[in-house]
Amino acid sequence: MSEVKAAIEGVSGFQVAGVHAGLKKDGLLDFALIVSDRPCQAAGVFTKNEVKAACVLADMKKLAENPDHIRAVAINTRCANACTGQQGIENADKMAHYTAEQLGCDAESVLVLSTGVIGTQLPMDTIKHGIDLATGNLGNDWEATARGIMTTDTRPKYASVKVQTAAGETYHIAGISKGAGMIAPNMATMLGIIVTDAGCAQPQLQHALQTAAEVSYNRIVVDGDMSTNDTVFLLANGASGVTLETEADRAQFQDALEALCVKLAQDIVRDGEGVTKFVTIKITGAPDDDAARVIANTIATSPLVKTAFYGNDANWGRIVAAAGRAGISLNQSCLKLWFSLTEDAPNPLQLIDNGLPLNYSEAEATSIVNEPAFAVLLDCGAGSGSALVWTCDLSHDYVSINGDYRS
């Protein structure tokens, strides 16, 4: 398996920019642009929230009609362009048209993303200024591009992987993501743009992204709220000269893509609003995989569980209570629970067996949940279903950040 690096040295045929358009104060980067020098095959996954931002609606339409001719993605912060009616749709279209004019391509080849406050209209003069700046500063500064899409994130999230095929050819996959709050699993839970210089047919690319999202972006929780703007794109321009033609090539690509997506998704949880703990929830023995995921999500989003994590309290009762209210039929006398530093560490500390507490060391349990990263392992004893979800604690800072988000 190729190594995923927290750096992007360049992907053939792509240029990027992150600039200060004036959307944020203090000169912070607030607008980003990703451009391919040739048409891309494009795939996308979108929020399942019934309240969708104008950019989501526009992009869904474009990918349905024109998925094999995408040239660019333009991203603004500070305004989600959600709940903005017909004017919001028109502004999303104007953002794409103006970007296309600057790049010399068709507006149907430009996807747009927005993130920020719901219910405000895009300041189009500022957006145009950002497009002018970004198109004039295209290059290879992926870190600036990742910073240009941040909202309450405290650090940029970007990574890449270099893949060598069995024939000795190489290509790259790289991606940026943003997200820190309003994070709940049901598609993707933030914004993400992934690019590759490999060539791939669009149906295969769409399948690859959906599969990767299921084991990465769909497995993260910060606060349990699903955004109106969640989107992940995957663009393939074939500039490396490598085409994914064989089943082995596509399997290798899938493995690398999933590893990259997991890295970016976990980075979101680690940088969640007010987060001090990164927690892996591993469910086994559920009736099936879907049931396991429901149980894991219920635990991962429980305010009582998350505040216990924040307080370094090994309060296993809250965990089993959350599992029991997940809506999945369980026999409490079959439950087994462990705490561990990782989901696969040897000799985890068992706290419950057959639904009853063991004579375990409270001091050892507390020492585990005091760590900045640990795992909760629950065996339901009800089948062969399993699931992994990554979550975090819920701190005072989360309340402070979201109490005055618009001010």
Q: Which residues are catalytic?
A: 189
At 344 the three-state DSSP class reads coil
Token pair belonging to 185: 């699993």
Coil vs helix vs strand at 86: helix
> 80: number of CA atoms within 13 Å, CB side?
22
Question: Is the Cβ–Cβ distance between 83 and 51 less than 8 Å?
Answer: yes
Strand, helix or coil for residue 332:
helix
Neighbour-count burial of 202, counting CB atoms closer than 10 A to its CB (0-12 exposed, 13-18 middle, 19+ buried): middle
Round to whole Å and give the CA distance between 344 and 246.
33
Q: What's the CA gap between 304 and 302, in Å, rounded?
A: 5
How far is Cα 277 from Cα 270, in angstroms, rounded to an integer? Answer: 7
| CA pair distance 228, 230, nearest whole angstrom | 6
Please give the full DSSP string across 99-162, using - where no structure is assigned: HHHHHTS-GGGEEEEEBSBTT----HHHHHHHHHHHHHT-BS-HHHHHHTT-SS-SS-EEEEEE
> Distance between CA atoms of 367 and 219, rounded to whole angstroms?
26
At 2, which amino acid appears?
A: S
Q: Do 81 and 53 meet the contact criterion of CB atoms below 8 Å apart?
A: yes
